[in-house]
Amino acid sequence: MKKLFTSLVAVFCAMAGMAQTLTFSHDGVAIENGSTFYSHDVDDFFETMDITKFVPKIYLSSDVAAKVCVSVVSLDKVKIQMCAFGGCIWTGNENNFKAQRDVDWTAGENVDLQLDWNAGMLQGAIATARAEISAWYEGQEANKVSFTLVMTNDPALSVQQTMGKSESISVQGNVLSYAFADHTAHTLSVYTTNGAKVMSFALAGQEGTLALDELSAGLYVYQVEGKAKMNGKFIIK
C-alpha cells in the first residue's frame, strides 16, 4: 500500500509539472499559441509630434513560479524594444535581431512586456513590422508558446484580428469575412466609436461574408459574442 501511495504521489507531481502554462494576452483575451495577432495601437503622445510609435500592449502570465525565458525576434530586421523587467532591450544587428530576457516569475503574475516599435515620421506612408514573440520555461524551449505579432497602420491588415489558427474577422472594402472553428452560432455587432450600435448579425455558419454597404465612411468597432469572443476595429473608406 505504501508503494502504491508513493507511486500515486509521483504521478500527481508529474501531472502538476505538465500543467504549467504560459499565456500571452491582449486586453484580457488570450492569444492562441501559433496564431497571428494584428495590432495598430499607437502611442498618443508621440502622435502629437507626428511620430508613429506602435505599442501593442502584449501581456504574459505564468500559473507557476519558475524561470521564464521571453524572446522577441524581428522578422523584418527592424528595432523592436521590450522594456519590461527593469530595462529596455531591443532587436538589432548586434544580436541577430533577437532580444531575450530570462526572468524569475511569480505564480499568477501577469506582466506587460512593454513592446514597442518606433516607425518614425511616416507622413501618411504605410508601415508594417512583424515579430515572433515566444516564451518557455527554462530548459523547455521545445515546448515554447509563441505567436506572430504584426504592428501596422495598413487598413487592409489592421482591420484583421486573428485570435487562433482557424478563427478570424477581416474587412476588405465594404465586405466583412468571418471564420470560426466550428458551426456554433455567433452574434456580430458593429458600433460607432462613440458606442452607438449600428448593425447586428446572427452568424449561423462556420464561415461567410457580410455586406457593409449601409455604413458611411469612418472608423467602426465590432464585437463577436458566442463560443469565440472577438473584438476589433475596421475602416470604411
Q: Please name the CATH architecture into which domain 159-237 falls.
A: Sandwich (2.60)
Q: What is the mean pLDDT of residues 55-69?
A: 94
Report CA torsion sign: 194, 196, 198, 204.
positive
**Does residue 146 register a pLDDT over 90?**
yes
Can you give the residue ranges of every domain in the chain?
Answer: 20-154, 159-237
pTM for the complete prediction?
A: 0.63
Q: What angle do CA 148, 219, 162 make, to 5 degrees?
A: 20
Least confident of 45-49, 85-89, 147-151, 163-167: 163-167
Cell numbers 463577436 correspond to 224
Radius of gyration of the chain (CA): 21
8 A C-beta contact, residue 123 and residue 96: no
What's 93's DSSP letter? Answer: G
Residues 215 and 236: beta-carbon distance below 8 Å: yes
Residues facing 100 on adjacent strands: 71
Shared fold status for 20-154 and 159-237: yes
Q: Confidence class of residue 10 from pLDDT cuts 50, 70 and 90?
A: very low
The HSE-up count of residue 9 (CA atoms within 13 Å, CB side) is: 6
> What's the CATH fold of domain 20-154?
Immunoglobulin-like (2.60.40)
